[in-house]
Structure 1
Amino acid sequence: MVAAPALRIDPATPEDHARIAALTLDVYVGGGLASSGYADELADVAGRARVAELLVARDGAGRLVGSVAFVPGGDFGEVLESDDEAGFRMLVVDPAAQGCGVGTALVEECLTRARAAGKRRVVISTGTRMTAAHRLYERLGFTRLPERDWSPVPGIDLVVYAHPL
């Protein structure tokens, strides 16, 4: 598929929160990428908007087709180890828009924001089953940091990727 030429990345508004929550739950829990035990955190869009820069992707018709929480620092960036690292969490793309460049645009916006904030690199963690995300990250220049892989709860293993800036 070809990327939608009119794709826009904007800060999320409170009016976007319900759509982001539904989309995130559908893709993560409904798609088998996360357990239902993670559903409350995934649905807490207002909570993550308080601790991160919540971004949305809109298609040419203005429909919200993706979202990501850019984390310039702080505890919400669970794998960040220093002030010169930024991250992002809960990247999600509407299944109907997957393959159209939405995920790429959201990740690139996070990289741009990290550079503008003077960060040295972007560090993220992702589930082992999120193979499409792994391919995206690797294509964009992220490399594995296996020494920082971790498990937030027993039975959930996360792998860490980094992108130098």
Structure 2
Amino acid sequence: MEIAEGTLEKMYTEIANAEMADVPVPKQYRDAKELTSVDEILPALLAAKEAGAASNTSVDAVSSASQAGPQLPSAKVVFALGRGANDPETIALAEVAAKKLNGMVGVTRPLVGQQLGVNGHKIAPDFLINLGIAGAPQYTYGITGAKEIVSVNINPNALILDLSDYKVVGSAKDFLKELLAKLN
């Protein structure tokens, strides 16, 4: 059996388009300011912490969303991890930072667990920190209610940076280390 050139690509495109047909693309572009220091966001982060953020951060990249205690949608501070923040040290740093800020950790589809977006939780935290997230529509649909968004990505062209109030083109791990140094 011979497959005509371009047939597989066409089939893949049709399947991908069918899966995305019901996914609304959020129109939430923000005028992202280049974040030069964690000091710029610290007052807002601490205010969100005081607003009664959830204190359960026992989330790892493969855990179930059915844990006891406060759930991700009610958290005031959320650290969202994507494929670009999928190493054990970055995950551990995010969990420590979330705990210090009475926040929670959520992950995108590649990391599963406390998934955000169309197939996961829809959240509206006071403060959302995206770490290593590209900005796929399935994810951005789930964060439209976030009041303040900081996104950290090594790719300066990542869509998520355009959907943020503050952007950092750099390492999620370095950002978390700087944040934790300020929180200590």
User: For the superposition of Structure 1 and Structure 2, which TM-score range results when normalised by the shorter chain?
Assistant: under 0.3
Q: Higher Cα Rg: structure 1 or 2?
A: 2
Higher relative contact order structure (alpha carbons within 8 Å, sequence separation ≥ 6): 2
* TM-score between the two structures when normalised by the length of structure 1: 0.28
